[in-house]
Amino acid sequence: MENQKKPRILSGIKPTGDLTLGSYIGAIKNWVSLHNDYECFYMLADLHAITVRHDPSVLRRRTVEQLAQYIACGLDPEKNVLFIQSMVPAHAELAWVLGCYTMMGELNRMTQFKDKAKKQSDNINAGLYTYPVLMAADILIYQANLVPVGEDQKQHVEITRDIANRFNGIYGDVFTVPEPYIPKVGARIMSLSDPESKMSKSEESTGSVLLMDSPEVIMAKFRRAVTDSETEIRYDQKNKKGISNLLTIYSVCTGKTYDEIQNEFQNKGYGDFKKAVGEAVVETLRPIREEAERLIKDKVYIQDVITKGAERASFVANKTVSKVYKKVGFYRVK
């Protein structure tokens, strides 16, 4: 196992849709300060993106745009390893080896495959089925100690741990066995049009606020946000999901507590509250959107970040694959 000064973290988001306010608050915002205590690897998971039919030109564009948004959100490429997954071929190489140490029964139990298969019943491909093996390779190839995950991703960390322990049990101390990392600060942001569902970048509707939305679009989405038939602005996740979601968003954007917000809007209606939340989101996202737009135009800089990120990621990934290949008996010229 290679010596590490800091514990290592690996995470990534597929460039299959535009990043949302939920992506920022629930994940990326929490990543920004982690480099102080961890060695951070953040990938644009484009290999995972092709389990659904897609437009290649759109995937390329969104990959670059997402990288620019990562940086605009505060992820410094000098302090974090930002890289495009497909530019590190070792991911796919390790995924094949790990697939030979993954049991069919384990893959059959993966609930995310079942959910996705229902959504794309006309395209239930082998990549969708073996998705967890590639995800395990993503994590293990960097000897990641921790993986930031939500509730819906915990099963992927569990199967990764099973694969790592099985491989280590046969060949010795090869992989770091990762632990799930639950951020101390963070919030699960729900759809504005359906507070029962998580705000999703694949949801092409008024329910998702995108990082690159204009102020006018953001305000319009909050004006239409689902609330309830009452008039009181208070946090009640069980009975007032829509208002509770807006309270969470406003709290994160302003730094105010729920009690402070409830006092602030004690004698005001939902219309005033939604307007205030929208304005807070506009000001939170404005510098991110403007910086991302600037970065996207700076093609020389973005290309430099992409190239250096791939080199840094490959250096670590190739060391792991070389070790694995030696362990399983693949012949190499000395």
Whether the per-residue pLDDT at 270 is higher than 70: the answer is yes
Give the list of residues 6+ apart from residue 213 with CB closer than 8 angstroms, or none.
221, 285, 289
Given 14, 29, 116, 240, which residue is catalytic? Answer: 116
For position 56, what pLDDT does the model report?
A: 93
pTM here is 0.88
Q: Which of 32-36, 124-128, 181-185, 310-314 is least confident?
A: 181-185
Catalytic residue among 6, 79, 154, 201: 201
Point out the catalytic residue in the list 6, 14, 119, 198. 198
Q: Is the pLDDT of residue 2 over 50?
A: no
> What's the pLDDT at 185?
47
Does the structure show a pLDDT above 90 at 235?
yes
Please, which pLDDT band fits residue 202 given cuts at 50, 70 and 90? low
Residues above pLDDT 70, as percent of the chain: 95
Exposed/middle/buried for 241, CB within 10 Å: 0-12, 13-18, 19+?
middle
Cα distance from N-terminal residue to C-terminal residue, the chain: 22
How far is it, in rounded angstroms, from Cα 290 to Cα 153?
A: 31
Give the per-residue pLDDT at 109: 87
Q: Which residue has better confidence, 205 or 305?
A: 305
DSSP string, 165-218: HHHHHHHSS-S---EEE--SS---PBPSS-TTSB--TT--STT--BTT--HHHH
User: Where does the pLDDT of residue 218 fall: very low under 50, low under 70, confident under 90, or very high at 90 and above?
Assistant: very high
Catalytic residue flag (residue 201): yes
What pLDDT score was predicted for residue 9? 95
Reading the block at residue 312, the tokens are 């840094």
Predicted confidence (pLDDT) per residue in 70-122, tens digit: 999 999 999 999 999 999 999 999 999 999 999 999 998 887 777 777 777 77
Can you tell me the mean pLDDT for 278-293? 97
Question: Count H helices, E strands: the chain?
Answer: 15, 5
What mean pLDDT value characterizes the chain?
Answer: 91
pLDDT digits (tens, 9 = 90+) for 146-196: 998 766 677 889 999 999 999 999 999 999 999 998 765 457 899 999 999
CA distance 298 to 52: 30
Structure tokens at 20: 């949302």
pLDDT of 59-70, one tens digit each? 999 999 999 999
When pLDDT is averaged across residues 318-326 and rounded to a whole number, the result is 98
